[in-house]
Structure 1
């Protein structure tokens, strides 16, 4: 079977790997000049198995108003004249209730837990390096109110069997010794011990090389114009340069841009781009640098150690498909690294980046079959594409090849949006 995968980010490449491993002939198409050059390029670096939760949660609408009024705000909504954007926002608000939150979180945890379980096998099979660490995530609380509010998260972590530790100030410093320099700026933390870290783009490039060795073909610089449909099935992918590329089956792993080619053929997904920012800077002194990931609860910014670099990422900007990186766009993430690890890295050498996260209003990715027998989806992972990549890639590959996936697909497919 020949399978055409649209998209060479971490989602598309992991899908290609699992397809090829099971004997499929695979062709990957991407508009960029290489793999992992969009959302996978400089994300937070977190494999957030313990922090797998939908953004749509009880109380979020009121918190969102507060966040947008902060000086260093984690959320900003541009007042665009966009019915699609406002419809998506309304759908998200409708999911901000206890019942929807638990349903959506259960679906998301199912995918992320599976990804956590299968990723070690992929690493063992391929031997790829990606600056990976297995030292957990420390959610850092600056106030006693935040510490108290985390009890709700602890209950959910217990319910889903995600290991964690509640730490006081000294225990946080024992885990992240550099925090001793700023011990007066926080009161405690919640440590998610099963979480891991790693450079998503480094992983994607290394896995692409393995895929190429396995016979997978990668065609870059190929912007997809449309998906061609005849007689109720997909007959090809039309590109601007190479023309029509054909196969027996097709997987759309185009992130936020999936809707641009799916809507014209009648597949309407509420996937919307939510812009995020990051900076990457070199470590100057290991003793004063983070050792794993610290999530600043106040600013919703993650600080992650990636080898001899520090990645600082966060913010949520709802601004359509804008990929502009303004001169002050990364001020918030820079403030957090200077505030918590002032001696750890060289901020003067920070490399700024922005990317579009493909978000669904319920937080759950869209995986598997469509109304066309030979077209499959692997998109809508939001901020958790890196976390869910291996699990969703393997699940979709199994479905494409007619095998029963190892996890339930209930609530994960496009069928949940059919009404």
Structure 2
């Protein structure tokens, strides 16, 4: 089959890889000049999410006024945004969290296998390194994470629960004073460079596999009929090409994997999903003092902020800005941007003091799409020729390769490798049940 993939982030490129591996001819359409220029560019680096990393569950703060929240709320949220946060909060109780993570877990396992297969096939070097240390400040927060620890034991995820003193001993950058509740060490879970991984896969697909990439082109609309599917294109400056024959690209199927850009396209095609776009921030700062730089990735579990060394710099990522959707297309206002970067700077000061020269940091922000039940939307949608692979949120890389494999199986008419209850939990029409 001829398949169009809309989106050149890690989700879109992984989808193109799996589709090509399944024997399809693939064309990737991306509005930027190359791959990994959107949300993928600001990824925190964790390859696979654990129960402590997913964007739902007991540590997601209910109140915008909570002092240690890693979420920045714009005052005066509209009713739709408030309802979205309320639905996420419904997954905080231990039983609800456990049931939802059990549905997600097979997708994490599929991603682990898919990433391993890509590494084994091409011997890629994308700055992989092992060791992630989650840290928790207060005793009440430590109680909140117990249901996540129960899941780690249930799924036999290798980890070590540590006291504060043990955390400081293993990771010298973390101060034992002031005292904190404890931490969880994942010796074998890895971080790496997500944009680099995406570019390496793209290079293989384009140069060795014949996958076509169209850059600097924005999809204006999707056409669907019984015999064929097609997309109408524009240049990224909004103008149309004078060569009419290249304005429309047709195929047997279309996969929408364009992150936040997916929502208006799908709505135009008649599919409205209750996903919410949020703006995430990152700081990349020079190392201030070498002796203070971390050798493990340090994650503030409650704030969901990741701090990791990248060569001679420290990268700090997280700090979600939640605001009404009508405002998400605009750059964040200066006060909101300052509030978000201040959350990142404070986490750096708290957990790896002296490691990063925050005053010289390069700031980045980008939009990611979250679902109200914490799971991505993966599968066929609205029409037999239309498929979606969106809503991965901050765990985008950790779910991308697995969801890409599921998409390729569905497009090919094969039995999906994830169990039926997981497949049902990912489908686009689940929100109307």
- Structure-2-length-normalised TM-score: 0.87
Alignment correspondent of 1:127: 123
2:164 counterpart residue number: 169
Is 1:393 the equivalent of 2:404? yes
**1:178 counterpart SS class:** coil
- Give the structure 1 partner of residue 65 of structure 2: 68
The answer on whether the counterparts of 1:163 and 1:194 sit within 8 Å (CA) in structure 2 is yes
Q: How does 1:15-414 map to 2 (within 5 A)?
A: 15-51=15-51, 55-57=55-57, 63-65=61-63, 67-70=64-67, 73-79=69-75, 82=78, 84-135=80-131, 137-179=132-174, 181=175, 183-213=177-207, 214-231=209-226, 235-241=229-235, 242-319=246-323, 320=325, 321-322=328-329, 324-325=331-332, 326=334, 328=338, 329-408=340-419, 409-414=423-428
Superposition deviation, residue 270 in structure 1 = 1.6
Deviation at residue 22 of structure 1 after TM alignment = 2.8
Segment drifting more, 209-218 vs 322-331: 322-331
Give CA deviations for 1:205-239 in whole Å, capped at 9, x if unaligned. 121111112111111111111111234x6620111
**For residues 302 and 102 of structure 2, what CA distance do their matches in structure 1 show?**
25
1:108–1:363 CA contact under 8 A, matched in 2: no
Shift of 1:373: 1.3
Q: 1:309 to 1:161 in 2, by over 3 A?
A: same
Deviations 1:332-385 (A, max 9, x none): 112222332233233233111111121000011111112311211111111110
Aligned-residue offset at 1:142 = 1.9
C-alpha deviation, 1:202, in angstroms: 1.3
Q: Distance in 2 between matches of 1:301 and 1:372?
A: 39
* CA deviation string 1:266-307 (max 9, x = no partner): 222121112111101233554321122211235432112334
Aligned counterparts of 1:296 and 1:94: Cα–Cα separation in 2: 22
Structure 1 residue runs of 4 or more that deviate by more than 6 Å after TM superposition: none
TM-superposition CA deviations, 1:121-167 (whole Å, max 9, x none): 111212222211122x2111222333344322211221222222110
Distance 1:83 1:235, change over 3 A: farther
Query: Residue 81 and residue 225 in structure 1: after superposition, are their counterparts in 2 closer, same or farther (change >3 A)?
Result: farther
Q: How many residues of Structure 1 are paired with residues of Structure 2 in the alignment?
A: 412
Alpha-carbon distance between aligned partners in 2 of 1:100 and 1:351, rounded to the nearest angstrom: 39
Q: In structure 2, what is the Cα distance between the partners aligned to 1:417 and 1:298?
A: 28
Change (3 A) 1:201 1:362: same
What per-residue deviation string (whole Å, max 9, x for no partner) do you get for residues 45-75 of structure 1?
1124323665443685xx421x5343x7522
Q: 1:62-114: per-residue Cα shift (whole Å, max 9, x none)? A: x421x5343x7522332567554344334434445455433321122221122
1:167–1:190 contact (8 Å) kept in structure 2: yes
- 1:223–1:239 Cα contact (<8 Å) kept: yes
TM-score (norm 1): 0.90
Q: Distance in 1 between matches of 2:58 and 2:349?
A: 32
Change (3 A) 1:280 1:261: same
Residue of structure 2 in register with 1:415 after alignment: 429
Unpaired segments of 5 or more residues in structure 1? Answer: none
In 2, the alpha carbon distance for the partners of 1:272 and 1:333 equals 22
The answer as to whether partners of 2:282 and 2:316 remain within 8 angstroms in 1 is: yes
